[in-house]
Amino acid sequence: MTWQDDAGRDLVRSFGERMAMFVRGEGSYLWDAEGTRYLDFLAGIAVDSLGHAHPVFVEAIATQAATLAHVSNYFATPPQLALAAMLKRVAGTGDGGRVYFGNSGAEANEAAFKLARLHGGSDRPRILALTDAFHGRTMGTLALTGKPWMQEPFLPMTPGVEFIDSTIEALEAAIDDRVAALFIEPVKGEAGVLELPAGFLRAAREITERHGVLLIIDEIQTGAGRTGEWFAFQHEGITPDAITVAKGIGGGFPIGALITYGAASELFYPGTHGSTFGGNALGTAVAGAVVGEIERAGLVQNAAERGEQLRSAILGIDSALIGGVRGRGLLLGVALTHPIAKAVVAAAQEHGLVINAPNDETIRLVPALTIGDVEIDEFVALFTAALRTVEDALLLETPTEVPA
Ligand SMILES: *Cc1c(COP(=O)(O)O)cnc(C)c1O
pLDDT tens-place string over residues 161-205: 999 999 999 999 999 999 999 999 999 999 999 999 999 999 999
Residues 6+ apart with CB under 8 A from 49: 43, 224, 225, 226, 248, 249, 251, 290, 294, 299, 368, 369, 370
Annotated binding residues for N(2)-acetyl-L-ornithine: 137, 275
257: three-class secondary structure by DSSP: strand
Mean pLDDT, rounded, for 59-63: 98
CA distances from 213 to 8, 93, 99 (A): 46, 18, 20
| Cβ neighbours around 161 below 10 Å, total | 22
Tell me: do 147 and 182 sit in the same domain: yes
359 and 324 Cβ atoms separated by less than 8 Å: no
pLDDT of 402 strictly over 60: no
- Ligand 1: which residues within 6 Å by Cβ? 104-106, 109, 134-136, 185, 189-190, 218, 220-221, 246-247
Tell me: do 271 and 374 sit in the same domain: no
Query: What pLDDT does 400 receive?
Result: 57
Closest CA to 145 of 156, 161, 159: 161
CA distances from 81 to 172, 259, 268 (A): 39, 13, 18
Closest C-alpha residue for ligand 1 atom 8? 105
Global confidence as pTM: 0.97
Q: Say how many Å lie between the CA of residue 390 and the centre of ligand 1.
A: 30
Closest C-alpha residue for ligand 1 atom 10? 135
Asked whether residue 227 is assigned to any structural domain, the reply reads yes
pLDDT of 207 strictly over 60: yes
Asked whether residue 317 is assigned to any structural domain, the reply reads no
Question: Element (H or E) spanning 119, and its range?
Answer: helix 105-120
- The contacts found for 292-300 with CB under 8 angstroms, 24 or more apart, are 292/56, 292/86, 293/50, 293/54, 293/56, 293/57, 294/49, 294/50, 294/224, 294/225, 294/369, 295/90, 297/370, 299/49, 299/50, 299/225, 299/369, 299/370, 300/225, 300/228, 300/229, 300/230, 300/369
Tell me: do 32 and 157 sit in the same domain: no
Asked whether residue 319 is assigned to any structural domain, the reply reads no
Q: Say how many Å lie between the CA of residue 105 and the centre of ligand 1.
A: 4
Q: What angle in degrees, to the nearest 10, is found between the helix axes of 281-296 and 78-91?
A: 40
Asked whether residue 145 is assigned to any structural domain, the reply reads yes
Report the alpha-carbon distance of residue 330 to residue 226 in Å, rounded: 6
pLDDT of 403 strictly over 60: no
Which numbered atom of ligand 1 lies nearest the CA of 104?
7
Which numbered atom of ligand 1 lies nearest the CA of 189?
15
The CATH number given to whatever domain includes residue 87 is 3.40.640.10
pLDDT of 399 strictly over 80: no
pLDDT digits (tens, 9 = 90+) for 1-38: 899 999 999 999 999 899 999 999 999 999 999 999 99
pLDDT digits (tens, 9 = 90+) for 107-148: 999 999 999 999 999 999 999 999 999 999 999 999 999 899
Tell me: do 77 and 44 sit in the same domain: no
Q: What is the DSSP string of 362-387?
A: EEEE---TT--HHHHHHHHHHHHHHH
Tell me: do 348 and 261 sit in the same domain: no
How many domains is the chain built from?
A: 2
Tell me: do 176 and 237 sit in the same domain: yes
- Probe ligand 1: pick from 113, 132, 134, max atoms within 8 Å of CB? 134
Tell me: do 73 and 213 sit in the same domain: yes
The CATH number given to whatever domain includes residue 38 is 3.90.1150.10
Mean pLDDT, rounded, for 372-392: 97
Report the alpha-carbon distance of residue 374 to residue 388 in Å, rounded: 21
pLDDT digits (tens, 9 = 90+) for 215-236: 999 999 999 999 999 999 999 9
Asked whether residue 320 is assigned to any structural domain, the reply reads no
Report the alpha-carbon distance of residue 292 to residue 298 in Å, rounded: 10
Report the alpha-carbon distance of residue 53 to residue 140 in Å, rounded: 34
Residue type, 123: D
**Strand ranges for 295-341 from DSSP E:** 322-328, 331-336
Asked whether residue 345 is assigned to any structural domain, the reply reads yes
Q: Say how many Å lie between the CA of residue 3 and the centre of ligand 1.
A: 28
Asked whether residue 132 is assigned to any structural domain, the reply reads yes
pLDDT of 396 strictly over 80: no
Report the alpha-carbon distance of residue 324 to residue 335 in Å, rounded: 5
Report the alpha-carbon distance of residue 200 to residue 207 in Å, rounded: 10
Tell me: do 291 and 342 sit in the same domain: no
C-alpha 161: how far from its chain's center? 22
Query: What pLDDT does 398 receive?
Result: 64
What is the 3-class SS of 32-77, one letter each residue? ECCCCEEEECCHHHHCCCCCECCHHHHHHHHHHHCCCCCCCCCCCC
Q: Say how many Å lie between the CA of residue 112 and the centre of ligand 1.
A: 13
Query: What pLDDT does 378 receive?
Result: 98
Mean pLDDT, rounded, for 274-281: 97
Q: Say how many Å lie between the CA of residue 254 and the centre of ligand 1.
A: 12
Tell me: do 195 and 254 sit in the same domain: yes
Closest C-alpha residue for ligand 1 atom 11? 135
Query: What pLDDT does 395 receive?
Result: 83
Mean pLDDT, rounded, for 33-55: 98
Using the 3D structure, point to which of 280, 296, 312 is the last residue of a domain. 296
Tell me: do 20 and 97 sit in the same domain: no
Query: What pLDDT does 401 receive?
Result: 55
Asked whether residue 314 is assigned to any structural domain, the reply reads no
Which numbered atom of ligand 1 lies nearest the CA of 188?
13
pLDDT of 404 strictly over 80: no
Query: What pLDDT does 5 receive?
Result: 95
- Probe ligand 1: pick from 135, 138, 194, max atoms within 8 Å of CB? 135
Closest C-alpha residue for ligand 1 atom 5? 105
Annotated binding residues for pyridoxal 5'-phosphate: 105-106, 134, 218-221, 276
Q: Which domain, by its residues, includes 169?
A: 56-296
- % of the chain exceeding 90 in pLDDT: 96
| Distance in angstroms between the alpha carbons of the first and the last residue of the chain | 53
Report the alpha-carbon distance of residue 404 to residue 393 in Å, rounded: 24
| Cβ neighbours around 287 below 10 Å, total | 32
Tell me: do 195 and 236 sit in the same domain: yes
Tell me: do 120 and 141 sit in the same domain: yes
- Partnered with residue 80 across adjacent β-strands are none
The torsion defined by the Cα of 214, 133, 202 and 97, in degrees rounded to 10, comes to 40
CA atoms within 13 A on the CB side of 373: 0
Q: Say how many Å lie between the CA of residue 106 and the centre of ligand 1.
A: 6
